[in-house]
Amino acid sequence: MVLTMNKQPLNTNHDEMLLNGISGLSQMFEQLAPIVGSFADDMTALMQACITPIENDAELDKRMALIDELYSYAGSEEDISANFAVMVADKVYEYEHERLVIPEVEPSEALAFFMKERKVKQTDLKKIASQSVISEILNGKRKMTVEHIKGFSRFFGLPEKTFMG
């Protein structure tokens, strides 16, 4: 059985919704109880994976595997398993965002790294600066201007601070 999320807009007035209750909530639980009752422990664990912060890399690995598994059950983005995968992915993002350390490097090092990583030649950047200017930047003989920083940022799809050192 594939369950999909109902895309009907919910009442946007949160306070009114809390006061009056969500229409159909009791009916939903009445219908779900016989189905969900047989795997309540799994459902509880899934909900915990969606709301509980990740504490360590071992938990991160488990959540990543869970995301893969949930997506494997989804036939479309609207499937409930895909929606759960997105919620778990939010926790992965939070964990990685808190712990991700971006090393401070010279702007020329950042440029050289992304050029090598993406197989970009100096001539590919001619709309940003001439080949000789790019060469001088890469060799530490010239600093990047604001225009260079903005251009490299746009070209590589990276934040401007990447090229600011």
Could you give all domains of the chain from N- to C-terminal order, each with its CATH number?
Answer: 24-99 (no CATH), 107-163 (1.10.260.40)
pLDDT greater at residue 119 or residue 18: 119
Share of the chain above pLDDT 90, in %: 61
- Tell me the HSE value of 67 on the side-chain side, using a 13 A CA sphere: 15
- Give yes or no for residue 9 having a pLDDT over 70: no
Answer left, alpha or beta for residue 21, where phi above 0 means left and psi between -120 and 50 means alpha: left
- Give yes or no for residue 34 having a pLDDT over 90: no
Would you state the pLDDT for residue 103? 75
* SS3 (DSSP) at 12: coil
Token pair 């488990």: residue: 62
Would you state the pLDDT for residue 28? 80
Average pLDDT over residues 60-70: 96
In angstroms, the Cα distances linking 32 to 3, 39, 78, 82 are 11, 11, 19, 19
- Give yes or no for residue 81 having a pLDDT over 90: yes
As a whole number of angstroms, the distance between CA 96 and CA 54 comes to: 9
* Burial bucket for residue 34 (CB in 10 Å: 0-12, 13-18, 19+): exposed
Average pLDDT over residues 112-127: 94
What is the torsional sign of CA 40, 43, 47, 49? positive
- Give yes or no for residue 117 having a pLDDT over 80: yes
Would you state the pLDDT for residue 40? 85
Closest CA to 128 of 147, 104, 156, 106: 147
How many C-beta atoms surround the C-beta of residue 110 within 10 A? 22
Average pLDDT over residues 79-93: 94
- Tell me the HSE value of 155 on the side-chain side, using a 13 A CA sphere: 23
Token pair 């893969």: residue: 68
- Among 96-100, 131-135, 160-164, where is mean pLDDT lowest? 96-100
Would you state the pLDDT for residue 13? 56
Average pLDDT over residues 71-92: 93
Largest CA distance in the chain: 72
